[in-house]
Structure 1
Amino acid sequence: MIFDVSNPHTLQVTVLPEHIDVMRHTNNIVYLQWLEAVAWSHSSALGLGPSDYEAAGHGMVVRQHELSYLQPTHLHDELVLATWLTDVDKLSTHRCYQFIRRRDGQTVFRGRTHFVCVDIAQGRIRRMPPAFYQAYSAAVCAVADKDT
């Protein structure tokens, strides 16, 4: 498999019957669920899981998604979901995604998400706690610009 960056964080999934819509391919909402799953998996691997967000009283929320559905996926397709961080500042992170179908190595989806840090209790944008900034900035990958 050829990823857009070397050594992205990955998660494997299989398209199940409940993922299929009337068009007989994976429903768009499922891709959003997979974005969330692989992002949480990566964040947790960096030491920032949901309980860490709660303890810090801060969390990262979506400001904007860019989603490109490149090829449909179908029942029983096995996919590798890849994610990596491209930019981190004191208030936000920028995360990229690439989903590859295992059987043919085709990239079926690319996406980007801009997250901002918020105070959980007040719901207001705040600077990231130092632990967030250190973990996320240390994980930033250099990437060639890909069309999404």
Structure 2
Amino acid sequence: MLTNIYHHKIDVVTDDIDLQGHVNNLVYLKWMQDAAVAHSLEKGWGHDEYGKLGCSWVVRAHQIEYRYPAFENDQLEVVTWVDSFRRASCVRKYEILRMRDQKILAVAQTNWAFVDLEKRMPARVPQEVIEAFKSGPMAQTS
């Protein structure tokens, strides 16, 4: 089991709100991607490092379950971790929590494919990438 968990803070702003007065569903996707990129950067795997490999991550599928709405001025946290790796992909999971009451507003996962940018084909995830996301102390999401 992978135990490395990343916490990404979010302040809900006016531009995040839709006509129904709560956060638009597409904003959750942006937050998920922002958290994944920030986690990767923290682990030493930014755009430049992946570029040296000639590879990058691309989304194959998202799955989101919206449980409760978020509103303007809410302070949220996207908790994310890489749950599993396959030869040329990984599954990253997410929980989006409201800080004031610790309510889980949404749970999600993304299936990311590792792609050779020149060939536009799946590529094997290097062991050093896998190790970067497996390392670290056990974190709590209470």
SS at match of 2:15: helix
Kept in 1, the 8 Å contact 2:3–2:134? The answer is no
Tell me which residue corresponds to 1:92: 89
Unpaired runs of 5+ residues, structure 2, are none
Look up the SS of the partner of 1:132 in the other structure.
helix
Q: Secondary structure at the match of 2:115?
A: strand
Unaligned runs of 5+ in 1: 142-148
2:133 is aligned to 136
CA contact (8 A) 1:72 1:108 kept: yes
1:34 aligns with 2:48: no
Deviates more, 1:71-80 or 1:52-61: 52-61
- 4+ runs deviating over 6 angstroms: none
Partner Cα distance (1:9, 1:127) in 2: 24
| 2:101 is the alignment partner of 1:108 | no
Q: TM-score, normalized by length of structure 2? A: 0.88
AA partner of residue 10 (structure 1):
H
- CA distance in 2: counterparts of 1:13 and 1:90, whole angstroms: 32
Q: Match for residue 78 of structure 1?
A: 75
- Does structure 1 residue 67 correspond to structure 2 residue 64? yes
SS at match of 1:133: helix
TM-score (norm 1): 0.84
Aligned twin of 1:51: 48
| Separation of aligned partners in 2, 1:77 and 1:106 | 12
Aligned to 1:146: none
For 1:32-90, what per-residue CA distance to the aligned partner results, in whole angstroms no more than 9, with x for missing partners? Answer: 11000100111111111111111111111111111011100001000011001111122
Task: For residue 108 of structure 1, give the secondary structure of its aligned residue in structure 2.
Answer: strand
- Look up the SS of the partner of 1:54 in the other structure: helix
Is the Cα contact below 8 Å between 2:56 and 2:117 reproduced in 1? yes
CA contact (8 A) 1:73 1:108 kept: yes
**Aligned-pair Cα RMSD in Å:** 1.9
Q: Distance in 2 between matches of 1:62 and 1:28?
A: 17
Letter in 1 for 2:52: A
Count of aligned pairs = 136
Q: Deviations over 1:90-144 (max 9, x none)?
A: 21111100011011110001001111110012221111233323323447x8xxx
Describe the shift of the 1:108–1:6 C-alpha distance in structure 2 as closer, same or farther (beyond 3 A): farther
